[in-house]
Amino acid sequence: MGITRRTLLTGAAAVPLAASAPTASGVGTRTMSNVKDLIEELVEKYAGDGVAPIVSLGDQVLRQTAEPFDGQVDDAVLAEFVALMRRTMTKAPGVGVAAPQIGVPVQIAVLEDQFPVPPEIVEARHRYPLEFFAAINPVYRAASGKRRGFYEGCLSMPGYTGVVNRYFSVHATYLDPAGRKHRKTFDGWQARIVQHETDHLSGIVYVDKLETRSLCTSANYSANWADPVPTRAAKALRFKLD
């Protein structure tokens, strides 16, 4: 999800392995066992300050369950790959990018939200700064049944946004690049980013979960529905808002 700056750039738990995945360019396919080659190729091609191209919706890699990371590359290459993902996310700009979004079907995501937002947005959306971190093999579960609906978008589907009713609070478990295990609870907008990016690793894109009547172009959103809470949009467009 990845996630877009204006609304959100953000994806769930691990499920069985899929058969194959395409390259970032969409030309040809690579078997899941070639994750090592894909990572090394991207790291070499976009070394320094390079950024990787974002895969668009409709590419097969976004619809497969990513392969768990279990040491396919060494620590040095992993660090370079995470740095590449972060540069790509920042350049987009977004608040999250999952490895499938740059053509690699492996369970790695990077997340960060340091963009300045108006105080009324902070309060209404519980959008507090999220410091950068890389999540390897992440999973999440709802901390409660409470849900909130807000517009979000995705770097893999630019130009559109829609309301997704997501869990307000989630418990997440993931590894960092050093192999340390983390268990953390995320609330509000941070929880939304975690859900969006982790979903990507299971082949789930935000459009699979959105309230379909809320879907609109980014231009229409900016012109008509850019309220702190989409109550007015829900009434006018007649969609469910938790």
Check whether 226 has a pLDDT greater than 60: yes
Residue tagged active-site, from 112, 152, 197, 211: 197
Annotation says 80 is catalytic: no
Q: What is the pLDDT of residue 151?
A: 98
Q: Does 196 count as an annotated binding residue?
A: yes
Check whether 21 has a pLDDT greater than 70: no
Query: Chain-wide mean pLDDT for the chain?
Result: 89
Name the pLDDT band for 20 (thresholds 50, 70, 90).
Answer: very low
- pLDDT tens digits, residue range 34-46? 999 999 999 999 9
Q: Does 154 count as an annotated binding residue?
A: yes
User: Beta partners for 180?
Assistant: none
Q: What is the pLDDT of residue 33?
A: 53
Sheet holding 130-142, edge to edge: 3-4, 94-98, 108-113, 130-142, 169-175, 181-187
Q: Does 126 count as an annotated binding residue?
A: no
- CA 230 vs CA 43, 76, 92, 113: distances in Å: 40, 44, 25, 21
DSSP state of 209: T
Taking alpha carbons only, the member of 150, 240, 242, 241 closest to residue 195 is: 150
CATH architecture, domain 35-237: Alpha-Beta Complex (3.90)
Question: Per-residue pLDDT averaged across 177-200, rounded?
Answer: 98
- The residue ranges of every structural domain in the chain are 35-237
Q: Which of 21-25, 28-32, 208-212 has the lowest mean pLDDT?
A: 21-25
Question: Per-residue pLDDT averaged across 111-119, rounded?
Answer: 96
How far apart CA 170 and CA 190 sit, in angstroms, is 9
